[in-house]
Amino acid sequence: MQLPLDPATALRPGHVPDALDAPDASWPTALAAPPAGALDLWLLRLPGPWLGAAALDEAPLDGEERARADSFTHPFDRAGYVAAHLTLRRILGAYLGVAPGAVELTREACPCCGGPHGRPVAPGAPSFSLARGDGLVLIGVAAAPVGVAAERLPTVHTVTEAARSLHPAEHHEVMAAPVVRRPAVHSRLRVRKRAYLKGLGAGLGRSPALDYVGNGGPDTPPWPTGWTIVDVPAGPASAAAAVRGELTVRYDVRRLSPEGLAA
């Protein structure tokens, strides 16, 4: 499903069809790298019953991924992690023209401290980002640095305190919303912020209070210079993507079927 390229338009709730209602895309076996000005988004919903019953081939995962998978105590959390990383390997393998198990995953140096936990990279592949949350897997692929984020809505009771970590103008937007709308407003701002920070490669190493990615209005700060941030239609969850530069070619969301992952 191709979405509007105007970020200001794409940010309006309900402006575009929900990506989870779009037809399933075929699992790709060969993909051309996205050109400058394009953003490819891959969306996979993992229903609880499917996660509980799926027998996934973990052979493509590397040692670090298997160790991380084994660190989860809840079987559904483990299955969700494995499914997300198998999906990432399938997608990157299609861009690289190699088998999923041949994709080499590593990390850049952290821009905040120089440690080996910066933005994930795969030699030869386009820039990419992986997010999972609320049974959702979201992968962003672009020629320029990209970040994606997804999460379930928080409860009304947790928003008041959680919103304090945002930029002051964003905090004001959350608290100015009707009480029943605050979880959705907070979650939307939070995933935009997380996507942007992941795109920077900083992640949690940069305070979420420093940058403004709110809905705009009189006297609000500008968005980060040189970045495009878009809301991603993802059903009841919140999701967003951030890419360096302008989107001038395409902005696609392609929904994948979980059955294709187990095939």
Q: What is the mean pLDDT of residues 209-230?
A: 90
d(CA 249, CA 8): 16
d(CA 144, CA 225): 15
The pLDDT value recorded for residue 167 is 93
Half-sphere exposure of 166 (CA within 13 A, CB side): 26
The pLDDT value recorded for residue 208 is 85
Question: What would the 3-class secondary structure string for 126-138 be?
Answer: CEEEEEEECCEEE
pTM above 0.85, yes or no: yes
Q: What is the mean pLDDT of residues 248-252?
A: 87
Band the pLDDT of 98: cuts 50, 70, 90: very high
Here the tokens at position 229 are: 């941030």
Q: What is the DSSP letter of 207?
A: -
The pLDDT value recorded for residue 16 is 43
Q: What is the pLDDT of residues 107-133, one digit of tens each?
A: 887 777 777 777 889 999 999 999 998
Tally of CB atoms within 10 A around 187: 25
Residue 9 has pLDDT above 60, yes or no: no
Residue 21 has pLDDT above 70, yes or no: no
How many percent of the chain have pLDDT more than 90? Answer: 60
Q: What is the mean pLDDT of residues 174-197?
A: 93
Q: What is the mean pLDDT of residues 184-208?
A: 89
Residue 143 has pLDDT above 90, yes or no: yes
d(CA 52, CA 184): 28
The pLDDT value recorded for residue 149 is 95
Q: What is the mean pLDDT of residues 195-213?
A: 86
Q: If you search the block for the tokens 């850049």, which residue do you land on?
A: 108
Band the pLDDT of 19: cuts 50, 70, 90: low
The pLDDT value recorded for residue 53 is 87
Band the pLDDT of 10: cuts 50, 70, 90: very low
CATH number of the structural domain 7-153+229-262? 3.90.470.20
